[in-house]
Amino acid sequence: MPRTLYAKLALVMLALVTVLGISYGTFTLYTSKLFMQELNQRFNRDLARQLLVDQEILDGKMIDQSMISNIFKRYMHINPAIEIYLLDAAGKILAFEAPEMRIKRHHVDLAPLKRMLSGDMSYPIVGDDPRHEDRQKVFSVATYPWEGEAQQYLYVVLAGEDYATAQELLSDSYFLQLSMLAVGGTLLFGLLTTLFIFNLLTHRLTRLSQVMAAFRKSDFREEHPYTLEGEVINGDELDRLGATYDEMSQRIIEQMESLEKKDSLRRNLIANVSHDLRTPLAALRGYLETLQLKTDTLPVAQRKEYLDIAYKHSERLSQLISDLFELSKLDARETLPTMELLAIGELVHDVSQQFQLNASEQEISLRCDPVEGLPFISADIGMLERVLENLISNAIHHTPKDGQITLAMKTLNKGVEITISNSGEKISIENIPYVFERFYQSPENRGGSGNGLGLAIVKRILELHNSDISVSSSAGGDTTFRFTLPFHTKN
């Protein structure tokens, strides 16, 4: 069985053309035969009557059988295509002009004869051929006397044995061979034209299959486009399929790169979690063991210092575990927001005040620009407060001494936009897509005090509020986080 689509189509088309050619030839020969029979019978339908009118074969009310042989012989010599028989009222052959051995049956069925005599014009009407056991041929018939009950029938076979022999010889004639050659040539031309069209159609499909195979061979990492640059696209189904493949392959490559990046982040995540858990645990255990072993020898002030350090490490460990637990619940959507009417301006101002002391201690300016007349929004107060806390804490962490943090709000068509901007570190363009990944830390901040979960929690909470957060960083080092909260509605 052919393996290519073109070969299969070619094989099916060849079989179809062969069947059509045989069917057409058979049908043409059959209909031509019927046409010639009908034409012959219509043209000679009164031949028997005209022969009967010849006074030489009439003897009163009966046909003169003594002259039949010579008359039949003379007429059959004039027209070799006919055979003449004299029948009685029952269809028995009374006279004929042929060797006895050539007559295969001596009785003719009268039903077709009577049908023709009744005026039936549905030609061709065929009757028994006396020279063959089961063959039938077109004929002409007349009765005598003209009126009353028929006593005798003059039965003329219009395509006699000699005619059939000549017809068979003509089947090998130049004209018939030329006709069949013309039909065969036409079918062959149609076949070749169809195969050429099939090749044009399947060529693009073969090309698509080849580029897809090359794409698979590259382990879905190298782009092999179907549509070449500058190529004219017809816009049919194959071109649309090729365009879809191009989009799909590009998307797969992007996803593969993203998966590789996420796999790298996952490995870093495991390393970071291990490090972030191990470091405070090791420090906590070390100080507690020291206190346990040297309780009686350590001064009170030093014991208090060790306890304070151990407490800070336990707090850091508790915060990390709490953030991981909260993020996992947000990812699983186990925690859903409870929407309520909220004055966003007041909430932003209150949260910013909580960080004023921390910012002042680090000599950072934290400013919240007030906006009058802000409309109410729908949000979960606790979740939104956590978003603002994480964003402001992140901004303080990445703002240098004498830097500035600005909180701003403005009304848009569909809600209130909130921005938190800080001066200082610039986020590189290649790192921006991963800012909201869990445990992500910029190369400049790795090893710092953050755990890389705050912004991931922010993104998950805003997704639950049908909002998205974006980040941009200018060449001067200013970084801005921006998100929009929808207006409050009755629904």
CATH number at residue 160: 3.30.450
Give Cβ neighbours of residue 134 (< 8 Å, ≥ 6 apart): none
In a domain, 392, yes or no: yes
Identify whether residues 369 and 325 lie together within a single domain: no
Tell which wins on pLDDT, 267 or 153: 153
Which CATH number covers residue 314? 1.10.287.130
pLDDT tens-place string over residues 161-170 = 556 555 554 5
Per-residue tokens: 183: 């039909």
Identify whether residues 405 and 469 lie together within a single domain: yes
Tell which wins on pLDDT, 400 or 227: 400
Give pLDDT, residue 349: 92
Per-residue tokens: 350: 């209150």
Q: How far apart are CA 364 and CA 355, in angstroms?
A: 10
Residue 59 has pLDDT above 60, yes or no: no
pLDDT tens-place string over residues 131-144 = 888 888 889 998 87
Identify whether residues 263 and 303 lie together within a single domain: yes
Q: Which domain holds residue 448?
A: 340-486
**Mean pLDDT of all residues belonging to the chain:** 80
Give pLDDT, residue 175: 60
Give pLDDT, residue 14: 83
Q: Token match 């309520």: residue? A: 340
pLDDT tens-place string over residues 403-417 = 999 999 999 888 899
Residue 66 has pLDDT above 80, yes or no: no
Give pLDDT, residue 174: 58
Identify whether residues 363 and 323 lie together within a single domain: no
In a domain, 22, yes or no: no
In a domain, 6, yes or no: no
Domain count, the chain: 3
Residue 63 has pLDDT above 70, yes or no: no
Identify whether residues 345 and 453 lie together within a single domain: yes
Give Cβ neighbours of residue 424 (< 8 Å, ≥ 6 apart): 398, 399, 400, 403, 477, 479
Q: What percent of the chain has pLDDT over 90?
A: 12
Identify whether residues 424 and 295 lie together within a single domain: no
Residue 225 has pLDDT above 70, yes or no: yes
Identify whether residues 305 and 394 lie together within a single domain: no
Residue 369 has pLDDT above 70, yes or no: yes
Average pLDDT over residues 226-239: 71
In a domain, 153, yes or no: yes
pLDDT tens-place string over residues 291-307 = 888 877 888 888 888 88
Q: Where are the alpha helices (DSSP H) in 143-173?
A: 161-170
Identify whether residues 326 and 352 lie together within a single domain: no
Q: How large is the C-alpha radius of gyration of the chain?
A: 53
pLDDT tens-place string over residues 20-51 = 888 877 887 778 778 887 888 888 888 888 88
Q: At which of 331, 358, 382 does a domain end?
A: 331
Average pLDDT over residues 230-257: 81
Q: How confident is the model at residue 392 (pLDDT cuts 50, 70, 90)?
A: very high
Give pLDDT, residue 169: 47
**Element at 83 (helix H, strand E):** strand 83-88
pLDDT tens-place string over residues 69-125 = 677 777 777 777 788 888 888 889 888 877 778 888 889 999 999 898 888 888 889
Give pLDDT, residue 226: 80
Identify whether residues 293 and 356 lie together within a single domain: no
Tell which wins on pLDDT, 460 or 438: 460
Residue 477 has pLDDT above 80, yes or no: no
Q: What percent of the chain has pLDDT over 70?
A: 83
E strand intervals along 311-443 = 340-342, 365-368, 377-379, 404-411, 415-422
Q: Token match 């703002």: residue? A: 399
> For 9-18, 187-196, 274-283, 451-460, which range has the lowest pLDDT when averaged over its residues?
274-283
Identify whether residues 131 and 75 lie together within a single domain: yes
Average pLDDT over residues 221-246: 77
Identify whether residues 354 and 473 lie together within a single domain: yes
Q: How many helices (H) and strands (E) does the chain have?
A: 12, 14
Q: At which of 131, 149, 171 does a domain end?
A: 171
Q: At which of 299, 314, 331 does a domain end?
A: 331
Per-residue tokens: 453: 């979960």
Average pLDDT over residues 423-443: 78
Average pLDDT over residues 326-348: 80
Identify whether residues 453 and 365 lie together within a single domain: yes
> For 46-50, 56-60, 108-112, 317-321, which range has the lowest pLDDT when averaged over its residues?
56-60
